Each structure stands twice: as structure tokens, then as C-alpha cells.
């Protein structure tokens, strides 16, 4: 059991940031194929993928969107925030075994409890894989929820 706590809108500040880590495993790509409905062999068939420009199976671009959305919902701004919009640029694909770094940073606080957050992903070599930003609605009250699993590691600063 994990306890997730949000930051109330008034306590969020511009330049506040958080870094999370996660290993992307083969099962993540298999599950994302099922849930999205995208069974293209570039994601699932190693032999097929070997003959493409990527040379190996790659994650779906939007798996990074799914992981970013979880990071936003679970950590910054956290539970109780409402996801309003997301822009994503897929710069380079996540590959099986990558330990990705998800960086979230508050860019702007906007009236009526809106916040703009920068959303970036890097791989273990420091190469940027995803760029983007999101808008969320953040309640005034702190929200605390209990969840059964949380597949991210936080950076200790």
C-alpha cells in the first residue's frame, strides 16, 4: 500500500519540479498493445522489427504519454488534479529495458486553479525521448489516496 498526497493549488510554485524513474519492460509494451489496440509488429515482433530503421522492438509513442499522465496524477500535481490537456513530441522511441527519467516542472500558475507543467522524458544515456507540457486543474484542498502499487522511483535530492 502506498500513500499519495497532492499539493494544494496555493502551495504549488513556479519552477517546482520532480523527477521520477521507471524501467520499461517487455510486458509494458505487450500490455499497451492490448489496451490501445495497436498490435503493429514494430512493437511486438522482434524478427520484423530487426529489419526496420529501429533494429529492434520499440515502445508505442503513446506509452510515454501514459507514463507521463500517471506521473502527473500521482505526484505533481498529484491525486485530485484533473487532466485538462497534453502536448507531446515523440523525439526518439523508448526501447525495452530503458530506465527512463520523467521530469515534471511547474511552468506557470493560472487563475482558477490551473497549472501548466513541463513534461519531459530522458533515457539512461541522457538522451531526450519526449518533450511536452500539460495543463491540470488543481484543487485547493490537499488530497490523500491509498494505492496498491506505484511503479516509479523518486529521485532523492
Q: Which residues bind a copy of itself (CB under 8 A)?
A: 4, 22, 28, 31-32, 34-41, 48, 60-63, 65-71, 73-74, 79, 83-90, 145-152
Q: Which is nearer to a copy of itself, 109 or 150 (CB)?
A: 150
Q: Which is nearer to a copy of itself, 15 or 122 (CB)?
A: 122
Least Cβ distance, residue 39 to a copy of itself (angstroms): 4
Q: Which is nearer to a copy of itself, 15 or 47 (CB)?
A: 47
CA torsion 101→18→70→3, rounded to 10°?
A: 120
Least Cβ distance, residue 109 to a copy of itself (angstroms): 20
Q: Which is nearer to a copy of itself, 22 or 103 (CB)?
A: 22
Phi-psi region of 78 (alpha: psi -120 to 50; beta: other; left: phi over 0): left
CA–CA separation, 8 vs 13, rounded Å? 10
Least Cβ distance, residue 33 to a copy of itself (angstroms): 9
Least Cβ distance, residue 2 to a copy of itself (angstroms): 8
Query: What is the end-to-end Cα distance of the chain in Å, rounded?
Result: 24
The answer to whether 103 touches 97, Cβ cutoff 8 Å, is no
Q: Which is nearer to a copy of itself, 112 or 149 (CB)?
A: 149
3-class DSSP state of 136: strand
Least Cβ distance, residue 157 to a copy of itself (angstroms): 21
- Return phi, psi of residue 97, to 5°: 95, -10
C-alpha cell at 120: 519531459
Amino acid at each position: 500500500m502506498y500513500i499519495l498526497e497532492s499539493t494544494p493549488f496555493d502551495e504549488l510554485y513556479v519552477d517546482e519540479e520532480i523527477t521520477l524513474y521507471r524501467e520499461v519492460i517487455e510486458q509494458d509494451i505487450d500490455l499497451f498493445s492490448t489496451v490501445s489496440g495497436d498490435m503493429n509488429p514494430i512493437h511486438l515482433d522482434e524478427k520484423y522489427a530487426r529489419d526496420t530503421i529501429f533494429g529492434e522492438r520499440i515502445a508505442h509513442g503513446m506509452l510515454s504519454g501514459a507514463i507521463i499522465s500517471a506521473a502527473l496524477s500521482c505526484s505533481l500535481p498529484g491525486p485530485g488534479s484533473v487532466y485538462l490537456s497534453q502536448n507531446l513530441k515523440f523525439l526518439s522511441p523508448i526501447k525495452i529495458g530503458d530506465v527512463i527519467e520523467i521530469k515534471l516542472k511547474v511552468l506557470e500558475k493560472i487563475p482558477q486553479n490551473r497549472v501548466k507543467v513541463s513534461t519531459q522524458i530522458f533515457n539512461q544515456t541522457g538522451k531526450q525521448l519526449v518533450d511536452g507540457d500539460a495543463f491540470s486543474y488543481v484543487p485547493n484542498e490537499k488530497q490523500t489516496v491509498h494505492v496498491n502499487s506505484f511503479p516509479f522511483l523518486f529521485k532523492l535530492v
